[in-house]
Amino acid sequence: MTAIRLDPADHAWMTHPATRRVMNALENAAPGGARFVGGCVRNALLGAPVADIDIATVLEPAAAQAALEAAKIAIHPTGIEHGTLTAVADHRPFEVTTLRRDVSTDGRRATVAFTTDWAEDAARRDFRLNALYADAAGKIYDPVGGLADIGTRRIVFIGKAEDRIAEDYLRILRFFRFHAWYGRGEPDPAGLAACASMTDGLAQLSAERVWMETKKLLAAPDPVRVLELMSETGIAEALYRSEPDTGRLSRLIALGGDDSLLRFAATFGEQAVRLIRDMKMSNAEAFRIRQMADADLAADIAADWPLRAELEKRVYRHGNQVLADLLYLLFSRDRPPPEGWGGAIAHVLSFKAPGFPVNGADLKKAGLKPGPEMGETLRRLEEAWIDSRFRLTRADLLDRL
């Protein structure tokens, strides 16, 4: 690959005032001792969006903190034992990490020692295209051959794949996730073989780390082939105790379903509810998965979806997201989807359910006393209002008392 420089003029993240403040603070303390690293360099070279900005420095954590604080940049010691600080400049976070080498690893955690050797720091990283560095002027530093992988869109472990995986078994899942996002063609054979042969180590991983990587994998433009490979190599069974339904996922993607939780529900079907616990999902994630698994509601929607009035009623009772999720899952069962599927989803996403215009205070003013009778009257009026497609006014409803 011939490109050896990123032109800062083409990459706003490099020239943003906040980025310059952080880099200047570190460079003032150690000239030539700070470089961008990892995802920001990789994505910039691939023409992909840059979100997080990581910076590697020869400064040890205390010196890096002092340099940043002297420049009036806020510091959060988010991973101080591993040499990582989060610097916040102009409300933008930057992860600043001292160059490191591994002293020992156990498949989940590493004990590190600080170094000033960029090659040592690169050697402990996972994939060659994640071990690219760039200075503030855009000069690329490539200690392990990552530029070649940028050109071929290959995900290749640094050194021996088995050694990198043994340092952290999450790298198995990251291998597939990175291939789904950045790879082309079939995965690197040596890396794939190493992942397939070391699935026993996946049992060491925390559910939270597996779920985080799974969500990122499912968010890739098209993770179907990667999930097929994970199934073929036994990795899906080891991680999820379930085989992914890649056919349904493929149909969902063709419909435009790009949300990770929705894709998860389509991929794992009836097993998705069990995986709520296994993956230690958040309460919000668990709630949404359970809503998507509501068989009675799904059956009602399957029967009523062509009628927009019925969809509007269900949006009022359950919300736009729930209805859209269930329609996507309904329409991804078969190919081709039924005529009118796109209009139905668009309608439930755009429909704004109004608020019920009558409350207890209105009924009390009309002479009703608080209690079961008032509650029943409110329910009766609300049903009439819903049946009118929300057209009855407050006055219309009170006239029915």
> Mind listing the pLDDT tens digit for each residue in 232-248?
999 999 999 999 999 99
Say yes or no: 336 and 364 in one domain.
no
Query: Is 100 a member of any domain?
Result: yes
| Residues 56, 137 within the same domain | yes
Domain shared by 305 and 393, yes or no? no
Q: Report the alpha-carbon angle 41-42-44, nearest 5.
A: 65
- Which of 97, 117, 152 terminates a domain? The answer is 152
242 falls within a domain: no
Q: What pLDDT was estimated at residue 2?
A: 45
Neighbour-count burial of 391, counting CB atoms closer than 10 A to its CB (0-12 exposed, 13-18 middle, 19+ buried)? exposed
- Do 342 and 367 belong to one domain? no
- Whether residue 337 sits in one domain with residue 364: no
DSSP 8-state code for residue 74: E
Burial of 270-295, coded b for 16+ CB within 10 Å and e otherwise, reads: ebbeebbeebebeeebbebbebbbee
Sheet holding 140-141, edge to edge: 74-79, 84-89, 92-98, 54-57, 34-37, 133-134, 140-141
Torsions phi, psi of 353, nearest 5?
-70, 130
Task: Examine the domain organization and report whether 346 and 377 are in the same domain.
Answer: no
331 and 394 in a common domain: no
Same domain membership, residue 364 and residue 346: no
> Domain holding 95: CATH number?
3.30.460.10
Domain span including residue 343? 294-350
Task: State which of 131, 152, 173 marks the end of a domain.
Answer: 152
Residue 228 in any domain: the answer is: no
In a domain, 346, yes or no: yes
**157 falls within a domain:** no
Give kind and range of the element (H or E) at residue 141. strand 140-141
Q: Is residue 88 part of a domain?
A: yes
Q: Are residues 390 and 326 in the same domain?
A: no
Domain-located, residue 37: yes
In a domain, residue 168? The reply is: no
Residue type at position 264? F
Structural domain total, the chain: 3
pLDDT of residue 73: 98
User: Does residue 299 sit in the same domain as residue 378?
Assistant: no
Spell out the per-residue pLDDT of the chain, length 401, in tens.
Answer: 445 799 999 999 999 999 999 999 999 999 999 999 999 999 999 999 999 999 999 999 999 999 999 999 999 987 787 899 999 999 999 999 999 987 766 656 667 899 999 999 999 999 999 999 999 999 999 999 999 999 999 999 999 999 999 999 999 999 999 999 999 999 999 999 999 999 999 999 999 999 999 999 999 999 999 999 999 999 999 999 999 999 999 999 999 999 999 999 999 999 999 999 999 999 999 999 999 999 999 999 999 999 999 999 999 999 999 999 999 999 999 889 999 999 999 999 999 999 999 999 999 999 999 999 999 999 999 999 999 999 999 999 999 98
Whether residue 11 sits in one domain with residue 104: yes
Instruction: Give the 3-state secondary structure of residue 301.
Output: helix
Single pTM value for the model: 0.91
* Three-state DSSP class for residue 171: helix
Structure token digits, residue 43: 């994505």
Residue where one domain finishes, among candidates 112, 135, 152: 152
